[in-house]
Structure 1
Amino acid sequence: MIVLKTPEEIAKMRLLGQQLARILHTLKQQAKAGMTTAELDEIASSETEFIGARCASYGYGGFPGHCCISLNETVIHGIPSGRELKEGDLVSIDHVIERDGLFVDSTITFTIGLPNHSQTRIMEVCSRALDEGIAIAKPGKKIGDIGNAVQLVVEGAGYSIIRDFVGHGVGKSMHEDPQIPNFGRPGTGPMIVPGMTLAIEPMIAEGSYHVRIAKDGWTTNMADGKLSCHTEHTIAVLENETVVLTKI
């Protein structure tokens, strides 16, 4: 069931989303070669606690980290660990926080040091795909329109779209209906209406879209070991506009 949010709930989510954006910015600034992903995760935990929120991923389905930190060929659900960041790593941080029964979800991707050409291009395409998906998420459109907009950008640039994981509704819980694939036919799926709050999150790769989940049950790697990228915003659909909640 799709849960619509009130204007008051959306206002609270917007404040929380702006705070999440600041936390992710802090994590990007703090991430340095030689730091472990577990140390970065601890910063996420302390920054989230500081604003009176909680890290919703922690303990979710047994997940052991406060956020997901994925490197290079790991597209999503990387578990923070003693692995050290190194110059040239492509880093995705996916963080979900909750306060007063409301959730927001966002992912950023960046490099340790200057990006190379391949990294620059995949990040640019992933970001542009997210922007196009958000731009079409308006009342009267359908969920399939979002996936189609993302797909046109990604596949048009020669990348593949991960099929096994999708975007989703978010707000009263971390994962709500509707599911939002990053591919699809326009004019299909549930109607987009005011009050929807959605997490749109392109997940793309240089090679095949096939993934392999590690023995830990979480870490999701590209089966061919090729570079991957993930970016995400939580948005709110209003009567006359669509608002990105997870940006400053």
Structure 2
Amino acid sequence: MMLRKSIYKSPAQLRSMVEPGRITAAALEALRPLVRAGVSTAELDAEASRVIIARGAESNFKLVRGYRHTTCISVNEEVVHGIPGDRVLQPGDIVSVDCGAQFQGWNGDSAVTFIVPGDAPSDVLARRQELSRVTNGSMWAGIAAMASASHIGDIGAAIQDYVEAQGPSVVSGESYGILREYVGHGIGRKMHEAPSVFNYRTPDAGAEIRPGLALAIEPMLTAGGEATFVEDDDWTVSTVDGSDGCHWEHSVARHENGIWVLTAPDGGAAGLAPFGVTPTPIA
């Protein structure tokens, strides 16, 4: 009889995940002043790599078979898994950067979205800022659910409820799409572990949420249809209808005294405050 490895971690193991989370957060934060028109996605990737190495860690993205970069950088109609290269950012671009670090055998994984400042049409800027706001808010709704919900399926339900509560975009009039083929996941010794974390309601309640659970919660939304395809590079996921995509992600731990967002410098305090949740450091 084959025994299935537990998805739950000990308090000591959760403590070991704090530093890789901090390093991942530092790498993404270092990109904030660099996201400007005229900068290439390869330059952003190089800076993230520099920060991770300087902190004594390694890129866990580079440990994925066939991938050679520290980040995935997705621009406009690209939603996730965009490959850094010679693409130069333009004013008004919506740019999602996904990054992770492995430190002493433990992993962090996070994604943030930026809007490139500059002279861009006001309607384009408004539409993309709103998409990022809704995606970010849905992520925090899912994280907040992890603090009190009984099963992982409640996280996806909270994300979907948040998105649907926003209604159609006040700028474009379009409803937001939630990607179905790409989901969140467990995290620990590997960047991608069981269980899957769906960003929408499912009939299956999923695994129990209890102390020892570490998840990467990462809603991926579009400003239009949910249908996507993989570009010829075999990595980049883009929308079929050409609508903008957006991706936000945090690694989160549920422990004996509450939850802690491993990839947020404040543990998630600011993002969770609107939901009435206060994070507690891992003892």
Specify the alignment match of 2:52 in structure 1: 48
Specify the alignment match of 1:220 in structure 2: 237
Structure 2 residue corresponding to 1:4, chosen from 3, 8, 13: 8
Return the offset for 1:76: 0.3
Report if the CA contact (8 A) 2:112-2:248 is conserved. Answer: yes
Which stretch has the larger CA shift, 2-11 or 140-149? 2-11
| Percent of aligned pairs with the same amino acid | 38
Report if the CA contact (8 A) 1:76-1:220 is conserved. Answer: yes
Return the offset for 1:4: 2.1
Is 1:20 aligned with 2:24?
yes
Instruction: Measure the CA separation in 2 of the matches of 1:86 and 1:25.
Output: 20
Specify the alignment match of 2:165 in structure 1: 156
Is 1:29 aligned with 2:46?
no
Return the offset for 1:59: 4.7
1:7-46 CA-to-partner distances (Å, cap 9, x unmatched) read: 2222231222122212211112122211111111111111
Which stretch has the larger CA shift, 6-15 or 60-69? 6-15
Report if the CA contact (8 A) 1:92-1:109 is conserved. Answer: yes
Specify the alignment match of 2:128 in structure 1: 119
Report if the CA contact (8 A) 2:82-2:236 is conserved. Answer: yes
Is 1:66 aligned with 2:58?
no
Return the offset for 1:155: 2.8
Is 1:142 aligned with 2:159?
no
Flag structure 1 segments of 5+ consecutive residues without an equivalent: none
Specify the alignment match of 1:104 in structure 2: 108
Please show how residues 187-198 of structure 1 align to structure 2 within 5 Å. Answer: 188-198=205-215
Report if the CA contact (8 A) 1:141-1:187 is conserved. Answer: no
1:78-100 CA-to-partner distances (Å, cap 9, x unmatched) read: 00011111111111110011011
Instruction: Note the aligned Cα RMSD (angstroms).
Output: 1.6
Which stretch has the larger CA shift, 218-227 or 136-145? 136-145
Is 1:201 aligned with 2:205?
no
Question: How many matched pairs?
Answer: 248
Return the offset for 1:113: 0.3
Instruction: Measure the CA separation in 2 of the matches of 1:156 and 1:137.
Output: 19
Return the offset for 1:208: 0.8
1:26-78 CA-to-partner distances (Å, cap 9, x unmatched) read: 11212221111111111111111000110111151201221101101100000
Is 1:180 aligned with 2:197?
yes
* TM-score of the pair, normalised by structure 2: 0.84
